Structure 1
Amino acid sequence: MYRIILVDDESMSRKSLDKILTSAHSQYQIVGEAANGAEALELIRLQQPHLIITDISMPIMDGIELIQRLRQDGYDGEIIILSGYGEFEYAQAALRHGVVDYLLKPLKEELVVELVGRLFARFANTRQKAMVKNQLLAPVISAAERISTALWAANAPVLSQETENLLKLLAHQELSYEERRTLLENAASLIQNQLGDRLLISPWEIPYDEPGYTTLESSFRDWLERKLAETRDKRNWGRRSATQQAMDYIKQHFSDSELSLEKVLEPLDISTTYFYHLLMEETGMSYIAYLTNVRMEHAKALLTDTSLKTYEVGQRCGYPDYSHFTKRFKRMIGLSPSEYRKRMQQ
């Protein structure tokens, strides 16, 4: 709803505006009326309207003082003023305080409807963009977490795939360059924070001097590639053969629904506690988290094969219980297996 407050010491004027607006659009909601600025001030603080339509000349507190007080209070909504033909100087003063427009009395219905309609359209567009952006926050956070996991594991193929998924997610939305940049900044900050305690890696330096989403994408990819190289270097990647052998075994036997850590370590002759410590250092994940990650990556690949039922994909990835597979997949990927398959087919 588009919340509106009417302020005018003439009750007939308020009634006329109320009738014009509520008849013009079902989304217009008159949430309050006041006969002067002092009454309006408390009402506005309580209702927080999107639009205020106020007369200039009123007793106790006129429209100019009301507007000044509202701006001092931090109200940043739209304000339209009503003025008579002899009050043009007052109207000019009001315009200097961020008033969006003014209407002359006696009011003409078509002008009222046209002006408020323009403001409502702008409000609706802004709200729609905000909704899209808010809806993207969770998928962006989830993608950033998966990128962090792949980066910590120095898994270049997964890192590349997850990076492209994130960039595609942002590129296909009706967002401005600035909004995409902000979301990508959020993702980079999350990646930085998640790895900050384990790796002292440099933050992403955004190329503000060359606006354009393609440039932004390239810069983000380059940053992650540098982070991958830093990760490999700082963690002496590949020098812990026991861990690598265990990880290879998991990748070869992930479809075994009974694959236990003890079974993985049996040929390596190392304790579970020691291996757990090595695996956490090597990948940043526990055994269960690493096994789940391997299974989900294979599940994603298998879901592109439409000849397989989704429950068959689960079975091939070590989840004979389809419900358990679906819950695991959605928790990690953000979509159910069926939803992911549809997304990949688009």
Structure 2
Amino acid sequence: MKEGEREIKEILVVEDEEIIRQGLKVLLEKVIGGFTVTEAKSGEEALSMFYQSLPHLVITDIRMGGMDGLTFISKVRQVSAEVPIIILSGHSDFEYARTAMRYGIQHYLLKPINRVELSETITKLFKAETKQDTSRLFDKILQYIDDYLSHEISLKNIADHVFLNPQYVGQLFKSELNQTFTEYITEQRLKRAKKLLKETNLKVYEVAQLSGYKSPKHFMTVFKHEVGMTPVQYREFS
């Protein structure tokens, strides 16, 4: 994204009343702007969409047929504690609001929806969710990888370390570095291997182990493919 460009935020709207759902879509995409809306008419449908692609924001009705809003929210929170959620309700019910707060929900709007109130809520929400926060979290992820580079590292390992969903962590690599997790890991392993080959007299199999490769043969195959020469040749000619 170029400097000055506004990032298009993805919003998942969960509402069983079609007229309200479509009204929110128009309000968010055309009136407020800067958003693309995915619609779901039930908690079950929304959960399936959420698993496929994490949105920047969820706006959900609290009372729906089938899976109600609070059940949906509890399942969302099992996947990600980070995605912000706004609750909509036609009922000024304190118990619902109090239960929602247990899931980290701070925004609770009553129907009929006041477009000014909704716009202000979203503006404050995304202002609070700064790039700085994301960068700080991502720095923690990169530090973990650096610390454990000689070990096996999976997205699940990292996700457990930072209390996030593995899919979301994978998306962070694309958004922050424009690389996949696997591409980044390979790049860092080879970077370490090159440094060890240049600066130490360690045997190739020791370099492989310290760079996170259990199999020296696999290490040599990857190294040759990515660098264009064998580890021994790299040590001799660099």
TM-score normalised per structure 2: 0.53
Structure 2's unaligned 5+ residue stretches are: 1-7, 147-187, 203-231
> Per-residue deviation at 1:76?
3.5
1:76/1:127 CA distance change after superposition, 3 Å: closer
Q: Does 1:38 align with 2:20?
A: no
RMSD (CA atoms): 3.5
Whole-Å separation in 2 of the counterparts to 1:10 and 1:60: 13
Residues 52, 199 of structure 1: CA spacing in aligned structure 2 closer, same or farther, 3 A cutoff? same
Counterpart residue type for residue 7 of structure 1: V
CA distance in 1, matches of 2:103, 2:133: 24
Identity, in percent, stands at 34
Distance 1:77 1:128, change over 3 A: closer
Equivalent in the alignment of 2:58: 52
For 2:90 and 2:61, the matched residues in 1 are separated by 9
Are the counterparts in 1 of residues 97 and 108 from structure 2 also a CA contact under 8 Å? Answer: yes
2:89 pairs with 1:88: no
Structure possessing the higher relative contact order (Cα contacts under 8 Å, 6 or more residues apart): 2
* Aligned residue among 96, 102, 105 for 1:99: 105
Deviations 1:205-238 (A, max 9, x none): xxxxxxxxxxxxxxxxxxxxxxxxxxxxxxxxxx
The 5 Å alignment of 1:256-271 reads none
What letter corresponds to residue 195 of structure 2 in structure 1? Q
Written as runs of structure 1 = structure 2, the 5 A alignment for 1:1-346 is 1-30=8-37, 32-74=38-80, 76-123=82-129, 125-126=131-132, 129=135, 194-195=195-196, 198=200, 286=236, 289=238
Gaps of 5+ in 1: 142-186, 201-279, 290-346
Retained in 2: the 8 A contact 1:8–1:14? Answer: yes
CA distance in 2, matches of 1:73, 1:35: 20
| Separation of aligned partners in 1, 2:71 and 2:194 | 47
How many Å apart are 1:100 and its aligned residue? Answer: 4.0
User: In the TM superposition, what whole-angstrom CA distance separates every residue of 1:304-344 from its partner, at most 9, and x where no partner exists?
Assistant: xxxxxxxxxxxxxxxxxxxxxxxxxxxxxxxxxxxxxxxxx
Task: Determine helix, strand or coil for the equivalent of 2:108.
Answer: strand
Tell me how far apart the structure 1 counterparts of residues 134 and 72 of structure 2 sit (CA, whole Å).
Answer: 30
Deviation at 1:89, TM superposition (A): 0.9
Q: For the Cα contact (< 8 Å) 1:4–1:52, is it kept in 2? A: yes
AA aligned to 1:33 is E
1:244 counterpart residue number: none
- Residue type matched to 1:101 in 2? H
Inter-partner Cα distance in structure 2 for 1:193 and 1:98: 45
1:79-119 Cα distance to aligned partner (Å, 9 max, x none): 11112343221121012112242212221111100111222
Q: 2: distance between equivalents of 1:66 and 1:82?
A: 13
- Name the SS of the counterpart of 2:21 in structure 1: helix
The alignment of Structure 1 onto Structure 2 pairs a total of residues equal to 151
Would the aligned equivalents of 1:81 and 1:103 in 2 still touch at CA under 8 Å? yes
Check the 8 A contact 2:92/2:110 in 1, yes or no.
no
Write the distance in 2 (CA, Å) between the matches of 1:25 and 1:125: 21
Contact 1:56-1:91 at 8 Å conserved across structures: no
The structure with the larger Rg is 1
* Deviation (angstroms), 1:198: 2.2
8 A Cα contact 2:17 2:41, kept in partner: yes
Higher helix share: 1
**TM norm structure 1:** 0.37
**Residue 199 of structure 1: CA displacement?**
6.5
